[in-house]
Amino acid sequence: MLSLVVAAFLAVQQPPPPPPDSTKRDTTQVKLDSLPLKMARTVSFETSEATWMSLDVSPDGRRVVFLSDRSGAENVWLCDPDGSHPKALTKGATNLYASPDWTPDGSYIVVSRTSGFLGSTYELWLIHKDGGSGAAMLRVQTGPNMPPPMNTLGAAFGRDPRYIWVSRHRGGFGYNLDYPLWQLAIYDRQTGRLFTQTDMYGSAMRPVLSSDGKWLVYATRYDAETGLRLRNLASGDEKWLVYPVTRDDQESRFTRDLYPGYSFTPDNQAIIVSYGGKIHRVAVPSGQVTDIPFTAKVDQQLGPMVHLPIRVDTGSVLVRQIRDASPSPDGKRLAFSALDRLYVMDLPNGTPRRLTNDSVKEQVPAWSPDGQWLAYVTWTDAGGTLNKIKPDGRSRPVRLTADSAFYDTPVWSPDGARIVVVKGPRAPRTEEHFGPGYEIVWVPAAGGAATRISPINAWGRPHFSRDPNRIYIYEGPEGLVSMRYDGTDRRAHIRVTGYTSPTPGAEANPAGEIIISPDSDRVLALVGNYVYLVTLPLIGGQTPVVNVSDPSSAAFPVKRLTMIGGDFVGWTNDGRQAFWSIGRSFLKWDPVVADSMDKIKARTDSIRADSLKTDAFKALADSVQKRLRSRSDSLSKQPAYEPARVDVTIRVPRDVPRGTVVLRGARIISMKGDEVIDNGDLVVTDNRIVSVGARGGGNAPAGARIIDVTGKTIIPGFVDVHAHPWPTWGIHETQVWKYLANLAWGVTTTRDPQTSTTDVLTYADLVETGEILGPRIFHTGPGVFWSEDFKSLEDTRQALRRYSDFYRIHTIKMYMTGNRKQRQWVIMAAKELGLMPTIEGGLDFKMNLTAVIDGYPGSEHSYPIMPLYKDAVQLVAQSGITYTPTLLVSYGGPWSENFFYERYDIHDNAKVRRFMPHDEIDQRAERRPWFRESEYVFPRIAASANAILQAGGHIGLGGHGQMDGLGDHWELWAMAAGGMSNHDVLRVATIHGANAIGMEQDLGSLEPGKLADLIVLDANPLEDIHNTNTVRYVMKNGRLYEGETLNEVWPRQRQLPRMWWWGTEPGKAAETLR
């Protein structure tokens, strides 16, 4: 049975109308209000083209098996052929299913099942139609030193029910794959043995057999297209039945199987199959095709679109992050770094003050035990030092190490005699490499030579208990370890773990940091985003492992200290309080007070609960009882204790140029509709556009600087809404080459949807203050991942407060957060908190469509199904979502970045070498996989994106950080390969991107009042889209730079400072020695 995705499988999200004999309805169906999100709007369209998925009808025609997430997670369901009497056949919150198929006797269903929200390795399961948990027939086998497990999809029966035909492949999904991938096999239900049946280069998928035992039909790839092969089972002879058909999904995550479902007619004379958006009858064996007419009128309810208008902040910069905050031993002062400078403030409400006037990076302050000194580290491109300074702000720093190296996370010994610090070679860290050559060393508190303690793997930071002779450090998989000053007597004390993926063989996620308490009986553990207080048992032998994902069932007492999140954890000197920071807030937790408050609250909750059982309560009106129960439930969920919080306020001036400049004589493509001004003036005062119009007709004041750009073309600056310009984490860079590259190629605004760490909070502020040169750095912060494992809407609200209240950002990334219910909690909480969520595409077209329906305003990465037909195109376009296909990392085929690397030699390009370190170039340019041009799928994906655009939808530019700067031009050229006009391509790069992040009031077009972000091109991109890469000038926030050099030409005349990689390549003399 074939059904429209939008008309059938989405329709089963809502209960069907009751039949006339509604008194006979099945009473075992689940509640239909399990999904929390209420639909708020409707889109309507009529189509004769459809995107399809498969269902299966029982042999007697009386029941239909289908997959649905109506209960909040995907499960196998049964219903009558008219959609009535739906009933869940499986239960669970973390499984995905594919291709349910009835056994010939109609008693069982065979279905492929995988676990986890990115699962792609399927087991074959047998489930009885009347219920039960079922059993795995072909189970995924995992373990140490084992090859990737076998994958099983597309179960099908022929004449003999003993055998099941399947598609088999070793491993899950992947990128840039080589064939063959899948082959057909038969599974013997009596012996459990498997027998391979094909050896096709283009793979063999989705078998279908005639009930008379004569014919086998299966899908295979041939010259970049998919076709259906027909095999005579008696002779083994094969031929093409029909070619081409719908493209298979073997290079994606195949969540709807490898090919849409199809079947033989009851008389075995034909198959009914869908391709090209139509239903067809294909005669067997002749292959004669007859179209089956189909039209559907769709009224699809959607959730409210969470798209928020956001103004670009142009006032003074309120610093978003304090790093490595630490209270003084007497608890009266707080030391931290902000904007990579050293600060101290009096607690609780003092004014933060800098301790030095140095221009180097100053990070990771550590108090001496007597509170008289702060140790800290510095960093420049020439290396770093370990310093100490008096916290009074009146003295100069004292350098403690003579050699310039990389230093991090210093700590004083309890007796104040030594400082232990992480040390590493300068060059690898300058080149953005993490960990090679790292060790912990100790230095005399007065300064001197560093003495090695031990090499380390650079997971955690060194610290002490009250014992001055043992150094503790978290070493990841080994857990928290300690050693003496000479590195001997190494002991492992505890491992702390968290969320465990439901995928077979998965291990629990390790903690990010573990810090022992001064009294050595507890540890603070940072697991995921949360801070835990964990009992440290002394058991001897094997290192104890404590999993904190459910504190109530942990092996030893565990207390979760925050529902929102935290970072930079530590203990006060006396061990009586734990602390952490998040954003610009510093928090302290008092375990004694918290325990006392917990006991008081427990008693209060118990008394309140008992009061709801009294006769007096029962005598109240029902409405009053309901209100009181709701109030009681709300109070019981409130925390008994909240940590003490200090918000640190530091404001610094934002970098804004002063003066008026006129760009005269250029063609101006304003992105204000179709407006093109052939010979125009664009006037900028300070950082905003004052006027855009015909030459000589602007509002330039007397004395304005005139820059002649006659014959050139001005377009708005590019807005890359899926950029990943990740800088170095921890100790920060002085300048980020990825930022420079983006700006040099005209990218004036980036939105990073998943930054992995919170370092970007500081980097973005540094760009705004002008200390670092780069585009506007907007971001989602670290993604909201499945490991959050949300249990309720309230849990979700609390977690998302870290973004709205503490990171103070406007967008978040829902990164495969969980099942449909959990994803709906995310968008509901985001709407309440003023956050715009975008989703990780996840190579799952069903999930992509549910995100559209649920009101998500953004979808990242390409839809893996191609092409999209009118039903899906209309749904996406009318919903208002911004679809950013990131073609350079195309789903469903080879990445298009390989196409461009094959055709554009970046290795010897002077501009590339100026803005990208040589080893970064080599990684991208020297050795690449090669694919025949017809194998690339980006023109197909781009064609679907163009269809959405032409239907009134929104498309975003996303370079994905593959080739910062230049890669955005490749992305646009790839977009044009799908038939998009050059003007529309430019819209995608500019105004559509601004709309995607809610900032179209300030960005994305050249209009008076908008911020002055623009590109001056030497050639016209409307004539040739490749002319986007003729960047003469880039203006960001009113400052004008040369595109080739990033030397500033307005309003200052300032050269770009020398970058560390310039002039470091081997000289000609060295070449003669080879």
Q: What is the pLDDT of residue 5?
A: 34
| Integer Cα distance of 614 and 332 in angstroms | 50
CA proximity to 875, closest of 857, 841, 855, 849: 849
| Integer Cα distance of 738 and 723 in angstroms | 10
**123-128 and 131-138 strand pairing:** antiparallel
Query: Residue 119 corresponds to which tokens in the numbers above?
Result: 């699962």
Q: What is the pLDDT of residues 637-672, one digit of tens each?
A: 888 899 999 999 999 999 999 999 999 999 999 999
Least confident of 11-20, 653-662, 764-773: 11-20
CA proximity to 892, closest of 255, 250, 167, 98: 250
Whether pLDDT at 28 is above 80: no
- 902 assigned to some structural domain: yes
* CATH value at residue 1036: 2.30.40.10
Q: What is the pLDDT of residues 474-497, one digit of tens each?
A: 999 999 999 999 999 999 999 999
Q: Identity (one letter) of the amino acid at 105?
A: D
Q: Both 133 and 217 in a single domain?
A: yes
Last residue of a domain, one of 1003, 1018, 1034: 1003
- 829 assigned to some structural domain: no
Task: Over range 362-386, report the average pLDDT.
Answer: 97
Last residue of a domain, one of 259, 294, 329: 294
Q: What is the pLDDT of residue 314?
A: 95
Task: Over range 505-531, report the average pLDDT.
Answer: 96
Task: Over range 1038-1062, report the average pLDDT.
Answer: 97
- Torsion-angle region of residue 454: left (phi > 0), alpha (psi -120 to 50) or beta? beta
Q: Are 263 and 272 in contact (CB under 8 A)?
A: yes
Q: Both 960 and 1023 in a single domain?
A: no
Beta-bridged to residue 1017, according to DSSP, are 713, 1031
Band (152; pLDDT cuts 50, 70, 90) = very high
Whether pLDDT at 900 is above 60: yes
- 383 assigned to some structural domain: no
Classify 760 as helix, strand or coil: helix
Angle at which helix 845-854 crosses helix 820-833, to 10 degrees, equals 40
C-alpha angle with apex 882: 879 to 883, nearest 5 degrees?
105
Running DSSP on this structure, what letter comes out for residue 723? -
Q: Are 815 and 786 in contact (CB under 8 A)?
A: yes
- 289 assigned to some structural domain: yes
Residues in the chain: 1074
CA proximity to 725, closest of 381, 461, 457, 964: 964
List CB contacts of 843: < 8 A, sequence separation 6 or more.
120, 173, 252, 253, 255, 861, 864, 891, 892
Task: Over range 874-878, report the average pLDDT.
Answer: 97
Q: Both 56 and 89 in a single domain?
A: yes
CA proximity to 418, closest of 404, 438, 401: 401
CB atoms within 10 A of CB 200: 20
Query: Residue 683 corresponds to which tokens in the numbers above?
Result: 């006037």
| Integer Cα distance of 896 and 969 in angstroms | 12
Q: What is the pLDDT of residue 144?
A: 80
Q: Both 936 and 1051 in a single domain?
A: no
Residue 904 CA: distances (Å) to CA of 42, 61, 664, 927, 967 = 46, 58, 33, 13, 11
Rounded to a whole number, what is the largest CA-CA distance in the chain?
Answer: 99
Q: Both 495 and 553 in a single domain?
A: yes
Task: Over range 436-458, report the average pLDDT.
Answer: 95
Task: Over range 741-747, report the average pLDDT.
Answer: 98
Q: Both 67 and 181 in a single domain?
A: yes
- 3-state percent breakdown (helix, strand, coil) of the chain, nearest 5: 20, 35, 45
Query: Residue 380 corresponds to which tokens in the numbers above?
Result: 């420049």
Task: Over range 384-407, report the average pLDDT.
Answer: 95
List CB contacts of 545: < 8 A, sequence separation 6 or more.
479, 494, 495, 496, 497, 555
Whether pLDDT at 23 is above 80: no
Percent of the chain residues topping a pLDDT of 90: 86
Mean pLDDT estimate for the chain: 93
**183-188 and 882-884 strand pairing:** unpaired
Q: Are 968 and 693 in contact (CB under 8 A)?
A: no
Q: Both 58 and 154 in a single domain?
A: yes
Q: Both 860 and 964 in a single domain?
A: yes
Q: What is the pLDDT of residue 639?
A: 87
Classify 943 as helix, strand or coil: helix
Q: Both 181 and 81 in a single domain?
A: yes
| Integer Cα distance of 1015 and 694 in angstroms | 18
List CB contacts of 540: < 8 A, sequence separation 6 or more.
none
Q: Both 608 and 704 in a single domain?
A: no
Q: Identity (one letter) of the amino acid at 729?
A: W
| Integer Cα distance of 471 and 486 in angstroms | 10
List CB contacts of 557: < 8 A, sequence separation 6 or more.
534, 535
- CA 804 to the chain's CA centroid: 17
| Integer Cα distance of 854 and 72 in angstroms | 13
Q: Identity (one letter) of the amino acid at 183?
A: Q
| Integer Cα distance of 199 and 545 in angstroms | 47
* CATH value at residue 139: 2.120.10.30
- 767 assigned to some structural domain: no
Running DSSP on this structure, what letter comes out for residue 380? B
Q: Both 924 and 1045 in a single domain?
A: no
Q: What is the pLDDT of residues 228-255, one digit of tens each?
A: 999 999 999 999 999 999 999 999 999 9
Buried b (16+ CB within 10 A) or exposed e, 556-586: eebbebbebbbbbbbbbbebbbbbbbbbbbb
- 812 assigned to some structural domain: no
Last residue of a domain, one of 294, 313, 328: 294
- 877 assigned to some structural domain: yes
Query: Residue 381 corresponds to which tokens in the numbers above?
Result: 């491109």
**836-840 and 858-860 strand pairing:** parallel
Classify 691 as helix, strand or coil: strand
Q: Are 582 and 564 in contact (CB under 8 A)?
A: yes
Q: Are 812 and 784 in contact (CB under 8 A)?
A: yes
Residue 827 CA: distances (Å) to CA of 39, 208, 303, 483, 863 = 13, 40, 10, 47, 20
Q: Both 961 and 943 in a single domain?
A: yes
| Integer Cα distance of 995 and 307 in angstroms | 9
Q: What is the pLDDT of residues 819-851, one digit of tens each?
A: 999 999 999 999 999 999 999 999 999 999 999
Buried b (16+ CB within 10 A) or exposed e, 1028-1038: bbbbbbbbbbb
Total tally of structural domains belonging to the chain = 5
Give the H/E segment covering residue 970: helix 966-976
- 760 assigned to some structural domain: no
Angle at which helix 966-976 crosses helix 896-903, to 10 degrees, equals 110
Domain, as residue range, for 84 = 2-18+28-294
